[in-house]
Amino acid sequence: MHPYQRILKYIGHYFTARNTRGFGVHSPFMFQFVQNVLGEKHYFYVFTEIEKLRKSELQNAEAVHIKDFGTGEDRESTVKDILKKSVNTAKCGQLLFRIVHYFKFQNVLELGTSLGFSTSYLASSSSEVKCTTIEGSSEIANRARRNFEKLNLKNIELVVGNIDDVLPDIVAKKEKLDLVYVDANHTQEATLRYFEMCLAKIHNDSVMIFDDIHWSEGMEEAWNKIIAHPAVTSTIDIFQYGIVFFNKNLNKKHYKVFY
Ligand SMILES: C[S@@+](CC[C@H](N)C(=O)[O-])C[C@H]1O[C@@H](n2cnc3c(N)ncnc32)[C@H](O)[C@@H]1O
C-alpha cells in the first residue's frame, strides 16, 4: 500500500473512530476496557526505565547483521536504525503493558521480538508473567537479551528461530495462551497461519493483538478474515493494532477507537 493511501486511511480512522472515553460502546465489558485500558493515563515507574534504555539505544550506531524474512536475504543495519524503523512507539508498548496488567495475564507469547522493547513492556507488569518471545535474527536477539538484562527482566524466554519452524512446538508445550502479540512477518498468509496455530491454546478470556493491520491490502484482508472467524467475538481496531477478544459473553461486534 502506498504511504499516501495509509495516511488517508489513518485520517478516515480519525473521523470514524470512537474516543477512549467509550461513548457509544454499549457492552459494559468493552466500555470498561476502552475507558480503563485505552483511556488510562497512569504512568508506571517501569515506563521510565524502558524509555531511558530506548533513548540510549537511539544513539547506538553499532552494526547489526540481520536476516530479512521478507526477502530471505541478509543485510546490515545499526541498532538506532532498527529502533527507528521496526520498533513500536512508547505509547503502543505501554498499551501492551496496560492490557497485561488490567487482565492480570500470565501466559504471554510474542511473535517478533526485535530489540525487545515491546517484550519488556509485556513482561514488566509482574514477575508472575511468563513471556515467551520469538526472534529469527540471532544478532538482533542477542541485543534484545542484553536489553532484558539491563532492565533486570528475568521472566522472558527468548526463542531464536524462524516462527514457522518453532511456533508449532511452542504452542504445543503451552497449557494456555492468555495474550498473543503478533508483530513479525507482515503478510496475509503468515498472519493467518499464526492466528490459526495459536487458536489451539486460546481460552474465553484470551486476547490477541495484531500489529500493522492497515500496513498493506494483504494485512487488511488478514484482519477482515480474523474478525469474521467464528471463534472471535468482539474486536477493536485502533489503527496500529487490531485487538481480538474471544469472550463468548460478548456479542460479535467490531469497534474502531482512536488511540
Ligand atoms: C516489527 S519487528 C518487532 C518489533 C517489536 N515487536 C517491538 O515493537 O519492539 C519484527 C521482528 O520480527 C522478526 N521476524 C520477522 N519474520 C520472522 C520470522 N518468520 N521468524 C522469526 N522472526 C521474524 C524480524 O527479524 C524483526 O526483528
CATH of the domain at 210: 3.40.50.150
Range name among 11-25, 90-104, 126-140, 143-157 with the lowest pLDDT average: 11-25
Is the CB of 88 within 6 Å of ligand 1? yes
Residue 69 lies in a domain: no
SS3 assignment, position 70: coil
Distance 101 CA to ligand 1 centre (A): 23
Closest CA to 246 of 211, 198, 214: 198
Residue 29 lies in a domain: yes
Confidence of residue 4 (pLDDT cuts 50, 70, 90): confident
Q: What is the pLDDT of residues 103-142, one digit of tens each?
A: 999 999 999 999 999 999 999 999 999 999 999 999 999 9
- Is 83 a member of any domain? no
Q: Is 189 contained in some domain? A: yes
Q: Of 149, 150, 103, 155, give the one whose Cα is nearest residue 133.
A: 155
* Ligand 1 center–CA 64 separation, angstroms: 14
Residue nearest to atom 11 of ligand 1 (CA): 112
Domain count, the chain: 1
Q: Is 147 in the pocket of ligand 1 (CB under 6 A)?
A: no
Contact 143, 64 (CB under 8 A): yes
Protein residue with its CA nearest to atom 14 in ligand 1:
184
Digit-coded pLDDT (tens) for 162-200 = 999 999 999 999 999 999 999 999 999 999 999 999 999
3-class DSSP state of 74:
strand
Question: What letter does residue 43 receive in the DSSP assignment?
Answer: P
The reported pTM is: 0.96
pLDDT of residue 14: 83
The answer to whether residue 219 is domain-embedded is yes
Query: Ligand 1 center to residue 162 CA distance, Å?
Result: 10
Domain that holds residue 17: 3-41+89-256
Answer yes or no: is 54 within a domain. no
In a domain, residue 50? The reply is no
- Name the nearest CA neighbour of 43 among 124, 163, 127: 124
Residue 60 maps to a domain = no
CA distance 92 to 210: 12
Q: Is 235 in the pocket of ligand 1 (CB under 6 A)?
A: no
The number of C-alpha atoms within 13 Å of 209 and in the hemisphere containing its C-beta is: 24
Q: DSSP string spanning 194-210?
A: HHHHHHTTEEEEEEEEE
Q: 203-232, pLDDT tens digit by residue?
A: 999 999 999 999 999 999 999 999 999 999
Rounded to the nearest whole angstrom, what is the distance from the C-alpha of residue 32 to the centroid of ligand 1?
A: 31
